[in-house]
Structures are given as C-alpha cells and as structure tokens.
Structure 1
Amino acid sequence: MKRFTTTALATLFAAPFLIATPVLAESHVTANDGSGEMTQDQSGAMATETDAANDPQAEAIVVTVGDAEITAGDVAIAVSALPPQIRQRPAEQVIPFTVEQLILRELILQDAEAKGITGDMSDDGMESDSASATDEMSEDGDTDTASNAQDDAMQSQQDAETIQAYMDQELGDVVTDETVQAAYDEIADNATTEVPPLEAVRPQIEQQLRQQAMRDLRNTLGDSVEIVYYGPDGQPREVSTTDNG
C-alpha cells in the first residue's frame, strides 16, 4: 500500500483543479458495484492514518490504475485528510468521490512522469511535513517507522508539487479573462431572461470551467490507461476503456 500523509493529501485535494464537488464522509461504506464504492470490510479503519496503516484490511485493492494499486487504506487516509464537515457527508457520496480523486491523482502523476514534469520541492513544506510525520511516529519509540514516515512524507510532498506543476502547465490557460468572457457570452446568448453582470457570476463561471477541464482531463488520461475496480472478494468488477498500444 502506498503511504500518504494527511498534510500532503490535504494540500492535494485543496488544489484548485482537483476539487470539483467535495463529497466525503465518515467510515461506513457501501458495497462495491463496480463504480468505485467499497464494502465495510474493505474500508477498514477510516478514522486516522495510523488506524489505516495498522488494519490488515487496509491492503485490500480497491482499484488499479495501470500498474499502480489504490487500496482501502489509501482511501481511508484520503478521507481522514479532508475537513470534518466534508467527511460527515453520506458515505455513498464519500467513497466514490474519494476513489475517483485518487484515480485522477495517479493518472496525473503517470502522465507527468511520461512528460518529464516535476515540481520544485519546497524545503519548508517538505521539512514541516516530514518532521510532523516523524515526530508522530517517534513518540511510540519506533525509529524505523518514523524513518519510513519521513520518506513517505517527502514523497507525498513531491507528488503534490508535481501535480501542481502539471496543472500549471497543462491547464494554466483554462481560466483567463478571455475564456470567462466567452463562457459568459454563450450564457447570455442562450438565456431567456436577463443575465447578471459578468463580475457577479465570474466565480461560478470559473468553477464550471475548471470542473469541465478536469472532466475532460480525466476522460483523456483514462482512455490510455487500464483502470480496474475490485470487489470485496478481491476480484475485478469493472474495467474501463483501455489502450495499451
């Protein structure tokens, strides 16, 4: 299981393009129907990163993205990184959204690697995240675990930086004065009632542009990678369109 730190994941999910509809909740989850949902047996502990790491069920594979595996523990940690008011939403919204965000994260990292895109590691952020993870583990006197936690924190920070660099390069021109104006003009042309001034609806238009860009990116990247969902029995439940050539 890949190890994520809550700090790095919180940064990841807060990235401007990655949040579309924030729907995450508590630990109870529903059966896997091939759409990325998990059974309660698969979910393991959803409370904390430590619980997720120690729960034997955390190793259960939820979905694979190419050669990468996303486990129940990964999903648990991702949920724990989100704000409480988001985690309290219904589990039937929480789990599919979280799984899809982690799939998107993996797709972006794989495409970034293929394109040679890497982020600039922030020394302050790296040291802060790493120190936090190390201190947490060191309190229990387990130096090996603390060292592993520090390595995981550094990798998570690097991944977050890479994702941001990827977004800046690939989607940096999604929201501009020109694209916002064009979207506003289209709305006005098709409206049957008076449309509010542009500045009054700019935030909503910008959000819609970002969300559409992310949907397009997810579809584009997903078309070239095999994505397989797994059920509670550990068997594949659904395979997306693939292109291994």
Structure 2
Amino acid sequence: MPDWMPWKHEKRRALRTLKDLIERHLQNRLKLARDAWPDDLLTRLLESREDASAFSLQNVRDECMRVFLAGHETTAATLVWWAWCLASNPEAQRVARGELHRVPQGSAPAVETLPAELDYLAQTIKETLRRYPVAPLLISRRTIRAIQLGEWTLPARTLFMIPVHLMHHDPRWFLDPEVFRPERFAPDAPEVPRGAYIAFGAGPRVCLGQHLAMTAMTVIAAMLLQRFVLSVPEGSAPPRPVLNVTLRPDQPMHLAITRADAAIA
C-alpha cells in the first residue's frame, strides 16, 4: 500500500525524522570549507559525485539512508542477541571475560588492536550470528535463465530468497545447531563448508561493512563485559525471534546485570 494511506502516519513521521537528521548532517558538511571536511564516509560520498547537480546530491542522501539502516540496525540487533547468548551461557561468558583480563589487562578496548586479539570474544559474536542471523532472509535474486534444482525445473526470472536462518541451523553443517558453541569458529575447528555460514552474505555482493561491523561489535562487547556480568532473570523464557526488518525478539528483552568487580569479589 502507498505511504499516503491514513494508517501509515507513523511510518511517514519516522521517515521525516530520519530524512531531517541526514539532511542536517549533509548541509552542515557542505557549509564547511572543502579542506575542513573530515575523512569519513560522507566526505567520500560527496567527493565521488560525478557532478554537482541536485540529482547527484540526492544519490548521496540515498546512500546515507542505506548506510544508516545497514550500519545501525543490524549491529544493534546482533548485540541484543549476543547479550542473551552470553547471559544464558555463563561458562562462555566467563571464558570471554577471562580473555579480556589477559589481553587488555583492564585497559579500555582499542579499535586498532583489540578485535584481532580477542579471538574467543569474536567467536561468541560469530556464533550469535549463526544462531540469530539478523538478516535471516538474504536479499532476493532473480534467475536469468531456467535452472534445474533437484527435482524442480525453475523458469527464467524466478525470484529466490536465501534462507540464511535455515542454513545456519542445518545439522549437516553444525552439530547440535540449537546449542550455543563459540568453539565452532575457533582457529583449530573444522572448516565450515563454503556457503553454509553466510551471516554477511557471500560472493561479489558480500556485505561491504562486515569488517567494520565485527570490529564495532567486538569493542562494544568487550566494554560491556569489562563492566558487567549478564544473567537471565529467574523465570524468564527464551526470547522468540521474529522478522521485523531484522531478526528481533518478539518482546523487549530484560536481562539482569551486576558490576563485574562485585561479581568477582
């Protein structure tokens, strides 16, 4: 249904808010002298324009909208599921926190060095993405010719959706797929078959932000575990994942937290 339908007023308001936010950033950047532009994605987009036309500037706005969604929503949703996975698996949380005590030795996480050194913490994030891929259905693809898939013949222009969630829970590739087991992604673990784990997609259109996302999530996860111990409140039921743009819990997630130093004491 078109966005002007009366019951879509909340969507229209949300879009106005987002567009106004991006427009303010864009106009503030354009008001600066060119040599004062910081070296960031917005500057790169502005510098890559083929001309200074309004159409070219609209392309920059559109890219900012896309990056805002892809770079914010997916990372936040993954960290929600990661928090649940560690709260409900205290032994994995203990090992991850022990790694944090050894590597940064209590200092604040640094983007430049820590993500590469926190192997086990990164494994917990990868295993979270296996159990709860925030993009459980990958962007569709349309065939350019008829193909044979098993016993089915599919005509040209058939639209496919890749069932990432189903693939990540296939026992052929992941033993006990419902069990949270970060060791699946350890350096000495058996290699996962190509295409069985595609949390960030695969092929020439793999997610451009996958390394940035893993770095951001690792640093944020490290900061949380340095400060807090996560646990599941007594009587809480496991969250039920639902698809709402990204894979989210069906209800707001509530976890218990205690200060890490108090828990250790």
Normalising by structure 2, report the TM-score: 0.29
Normalising by structure 1, report the TM-score: 0.31
State which structure, 1 or 2, has the greater radius of gyration over its C-alpha atoms. Answer: 2
Structure of higher RCO (CA pairs closer than 8 Å, 6+ residues apart): 1
Which structure is higher in strand share? Answer: 2
Which structure is higher in helix share? Answer: 1
